[in-house]
Amino acid sequence: MRFPVSELPNKAFLMALLEQVITRQQTTALIIVTCETLRDTAGVLQETQREILLLTLVEKLKSVLAPRMVLTQVSGYDFAIIAHGVKEPWHAITLGQQILTIINERLPIQGIQLRPSCSIGIAMYYGDLTAEELYGRAVSAAFTARRKGKNQIQFFDPAQMEAAQQRLTEESDILTALDNHQFAIWLQPQVEMRSGNVLSAEALLRMQQPDGSWELPEGLIERN
């Protein structure tokens, strides 16, 4: 149940593992990585060069995966990753971006300079699909990503894509605010109505916006 050359588990092995995921009702992500460079260089590179390209890309993919994640090869240029431990779309898209970054690195092969490209499709499993349905969704998402152009990431569910991108944008805003010292502690006094005496104060963390206003604490709490 191994794919030639790469020695990665093949599609049959992948589907067997997905059946286990379904049986155990484990929330996870299935990620399809389509490497267009492997497809486009067929008949262009020599066989040894293509093998070097394939094996190098496999090692790159392995380098960004957590120990529990499983990398398989389902065709000559398609890989599938069972991302155990990934429970939210934002985590899945972060992993997808890491994959894109490392795949896109310039790659010299026997005097030839390549910059590999890939398309990534993601399907989340929350306990409501069969193994075939989950796989089909990830493949469909990868196809949609490929139609949008090279080096794209696409969720099967557009709402998950939007939610993941929003989460990453918010995290970026918070990190920028930390660097720019845009956080401040506001004290909200608790006053005894009869006497008017201040009994205590509630500390509130607020973030200054580009327009000078201060974001309410509820907005920050929702980001956690």
Q: What is the pLDDT of residues 188-221, one digit of tens each?
A: 778 777 777 777 877 777 777 777 777 764 555 5
Q: Is residue 78 part of a domain?
A: yes
pTM of the model: 0.72
Residues 137, 185, single domain; the answer is: no
Residues 88, 160, single domain; the answer is: yes
Q: Is residue 202 part of a domain?
A: yes
Q: Is residue 148 part of a domain?
A: yes
For 194, residues 6+ apart whose C-beta sits below 8 A from its C-beta are none
* 188 within 8 A of 137, measured Cβ to Cβ: no
Residues 160, 217, single domain; the answer is: no
Q: Give the number of domains in the chain.
A: 2
Residue 96, judged by CB atoms within 10 A of its CB (0-12, 13-18, 19+), counts as buried
Q: Is residue 1 part of a domain?
A: no
Tokens 């509630």 belong to which residue? 202
Sheet holding 153-155, edge to edge: 70-73, 78-84, 28-35, 118-125, 153-155
| 157-179 confidence digits (pLDDT tens) | 766 556 656 666 666 677 677 77
| Tokens found for residue 144 | 């949609």
Q: CATH number for the domain including 114?
A: 3.30.70.270
* Helix (H), strand (E) counts: the chain: 7, 10
Domain that holds residue 129: 11-169
Mean pLDDT, rounded, of the chain: 86
Residues 210, 117, single domain; the answer is: no
Residues 54, 16, single domain; the answer is: yes
Residues 118, 144, single domain; the answer is: yes
Give CA–CA dist 203/208, Å, rounded. Answer: 16
Q: Is residue 157 part of a domain?
A: yes
CA 17 to chain CA centroid, Å, is: 20
SS3 115: coil
